[in-house]
Amino acid sequence: MLGNEALARGLLAGGCDSLYAYPGTPSSEILPSFLSQGENLGLSVYGHWSVNEKIALESAFTAAISGLYSAVAMKQVGLNVAADAFLSSAYLGVTGAMVVISADDPGPNSSQTEQDSRMFAMLAKVPVFDPATPQEAELFAGRALELSAELGLPVLLRPTATLCHARQNITLRKIPDTKSRPPQFNRQPERWAATPKHRLRLHQELNQKLLTLAEDIRFNFTAAPGGGAAGSWAPYGIVASGCAWALIADLLEELPESFSRQFTLYKVDLPYPLSRLAGKTLLERHERLLVIEESMPVIEFQLGHRERISGRLNGLIADAGALTPELVRTALHRFCGRPKNAEGKTELAEVAPGKRPSLCPGCPHRSSFYALKKALPQGIYAGDIGCYTLGINLKALDTCLCMGASISQAGAFFRNFARHQQETPPITAIIGDSTFFHSGIPALVNARWEDNRFVLLLLDNSTTAMTGNQPTPAAGLRADGSRGPALPLESLLTGCGLTHISVVDPYDRETMIAELKRAEQYTRSPEGGIAAVIARRGCLMIKDERRRLPGLKVIIDDRLCNGCGYCINAFECPALVRNEQDLEKRVTIDQVICVGCGQCLSVCPQEAIKTAAS
């Protein structure tokens, strides 16, 4: 099973009957797998792609205070969005069970921050499990539900990208033969609608639960086989959790026994809350401790006695970036004060440079960006989170803060320029359809209320493309494939007070350029305001959209191409490739990946890009 599939199976085996989520790599496969496995097992389960993570957590929490076993899944930056509900839910607690799955992205590989959800668990005072393998993911999902029900608290389950996308043969637990629980909500306004006075008491109760949990022997450190009995411990102890533990466990098996036997490896399943006696006990056994964890020093913070503990806090392990075998091997040798090999070298191996990501061949966003640059060349382009963040490669994106910020920033750009000078530059907020549903709507309401003026370029590719083509509310499809009411973007824009709304196919470039210019003119007119241009064409990852392509055979006329590279720099389609063997570095078409959309035909200043028929 994929790690995310194992998480879904573990939830089902633990009795979870409802899962809410917002798609985000590396967590996106959990909900579809939960629904498909539930259906195959004949279970009556419910799953929903919520509009954002805050709403997903609020929904799962409501199920859990109705006596049900629920879960919510998101990536680590999604927990930021859900923070308000998450912190409050710890005080209020649950009557059923609730597991919050927050999938971290050390590196980061596909996120705007490299953060550690275990640290968020400490802030919220919520217990957190840290599975090391897909098999443990399946087991810990069930354990998290059990602990949540036992304590009456939400429990965080924190896989990382490595675990989510790893595969392992799984020994499956039996699905309990129990009927689904009927919801039962017991009215307790002093708890479920607690005022600040009651919150103080709830906080004190929460603290007591955590103290009790920290002394629970079920969650003590476990030493790896061969660690030795009391009185015969190795000189050094290594403390690790999650995928960091799996990495160091494999590494110790590979290293020479004369070196690896200096260490006793300890595994931490529940990094928070950590036993207050843990550091004292381990330091009685070992001269020094090395803590290996991703990405923040959560265990290290709790252990104390820092003069004898090494890790991220004393700089032995870098304070950013994903752990690699080479990095950990180097840390082990430095920890012992010995050279890494016979030559005494401790340098990390050089990593080959990667190729920067780019929009797919035929992506409608590329055409939208190209038209935007042509229409408003001196503008400010406020960007957002999604595939279209790659507009930065096309020099058509100037900012990218977080989901929904494009609209807030565009409004603030206008307001500040308008306050200090008469003429403002053209300002465009660029946001995708899914991101608009997620957090763009409140930002647009605020911008309209503030009477800001800018062009809103809404890139509507009819899906949540970056995370695996999950449906948006505009599609009228639910997570299980059933039909629901569609919510047209035009209606939402109208409801936010916009009157200038146009819909354009970005493949129709001349019309797209004209509509963007017209929209910008409207923002400057006396009766104007925010002007929306919806660039609507489906993502080519959707099968039906590929059938709409014209299927052109595009070629380069070598007689006209002078190797200027304008097509690559300004349009950046992966199918446009510079021929490095050619003396003039002329461009060729990679026919293997070219989709025949024809959008590059008008790009070349020499008119060297043609169809085979011409």
Q: What is the mean pLDDT of the chain?
A: 91
Of 100-104, 223-227, 481-485, where does the model show the most confidence?
Answer: 100-104
Q: What are phi and psi of 611, to 5 degrees?
A: -90, 155
Q: Which helix (H) or strand (E) holds 579?
A: none
Tell me the pLDDT band of 350, cut-offs 50, 70 and 90.
low
Task: Find the mean pLDDT for residues 569-573.
Answer: 94
Residue 70: CB partners within 8 Å, gap ≥ 6? 16, 17, 18, 19, 20, 60, 61, 63, 64, 96, 97, 98, 99
Question: How wide is the angle at C-alpha 209 spanned by C-alphas 206 and 215, nearest 5°?
Answer: 145
Tell me the pLDDT band of 346, cut-offs 50, 70 and 90.
very low
User: Is pLDDT of 389 > 60?
Assistant: yes
CA within 13 Å, CB half, 456: 35
Tens of pLDDT, residue by residue over 580-613, are 888 889 999 999 999 999 999 999 999 999 998 6
Question: How wide is the angle at C-alpha 507 spanned by C-alphas 501 and 508, nearest 5°?
Answer: 65
Tens of pLDDT, residue by residue over 68-118, are 999 999 999 999 999 999 999 999 999 999 999 999 999 888 898 899 999
Before 26, cis peptide (omega within 30)?
yes
The runs of H, that is alpha helices, within 489-549 are 489-495, 509-524, 543-547
- For 522-547, b/e burial (b = at least 16 CB within 10 A) is bbeeeeebbbbbbbbbbbbeeeebee
What's the confidence (pLDDT) of residue 226? 44
What's the confidence (pLDDT) of residue 223? 82
User: Is pLDDT of 571 > 60?
Assistant: yes
User: Is pLDDT of 404 > 50?
Assistant: yes
Tell me the pLDDT band of 224, cut-offs 50, 70 and 90.
low
What's the confidence (pLDDT) of residue 258? 87
Question: How wide is the angle at C-alpha 110 spanned by C-alphas 105 and 111, nearest 5°?
Answer: 70
User: Is pLDDT of 421 > 80?
Assistant: no
Q: Which amino acid is at 428?
A: T
Q: Burial, 110: exposed, middle or buried (Cβ in 10 Å; 0-12, 13-18, 19+)?
A: middle
Closest CA to 467 of 80, 77, 106: 77
Tell me the pLDDT band of 281, cut-offs 50, 70 and 90.
confident
What's the confidence (pLDDT) of residue 351? 54
Cα–Cα dist 44/416, whole Å: 54
Q: Burial, 487: exposed, middle or buried (Cβ in 10 Å; 0-12, 13-18, 19+)?
A: middle
Tell me the pLDDT band of 352, cut-offs 50, 70 and 90.
low
User: Is pLDDT of 122 > 60?
Assistant: yes
Enter the tokens of residue 564. 């200027």
206 neighbors 125 (Cβ within 8 angstroms): yes
**Stronger pLDDT, 26 or 319, i.e. the higher one:** 26
Q: Give the total residue count for the chain.
A: 614
What's the confidence (pLDDT) of residue 340? 52
Closest CA to 468 of 570, 387, 403: 387
User: Residue 556, SS3?
Assistant: strand
Strand partners, 98: 70
Cα–Cα dist 96/156, whole Å: 15
Cα four-point dihedral sign 311, 317, 321, 322: negative
What's the confidence (pLDDT) of residue 228? 45
Cα–Cα dist 63/98, whole Å: 8
Strand partners, 34: none
Q: Which amino acid is at 213?
A: L
Tens of pLDDT, residue by residue over 526-535, are 999 999 999 9
What's the confidence (pLDDT) of residue 344? 41
Q: Which long-range contacts (CB under 8 A, 24 or more apart) does 599-603 make?
A: 599/362, 599/366, 599/367, 599/370, 599/507, 599/509, 599/571, 599/573, 600/554, 600/567, 600/571, 600/573, 600/575, 600/576, 601/552, 601/554, 602/509, 603/370, 603/566, 603/567, 603/570, 603/571
User: Is pLDDT of 353 > 80?
Assistant: no
Cα–Cα dist 528/235, whole Å: 74
What's the confidence (pLDDT) of residue 227? 46
92 neighbors 64 (Cβ within 8 angstroms): no
Tell me the pLDDT band of 177, cut-offs 50, 70 and 90.
confident
Torsion of CA 194, 196, 200, 201, to 10 degrees: -30
Strand partners, 69: 97
Tens of pLDDT, residue by residue over 491-504, are 999 999 999 999 99
User: Is pLDDT of 220 > 60?
Assistant: yes
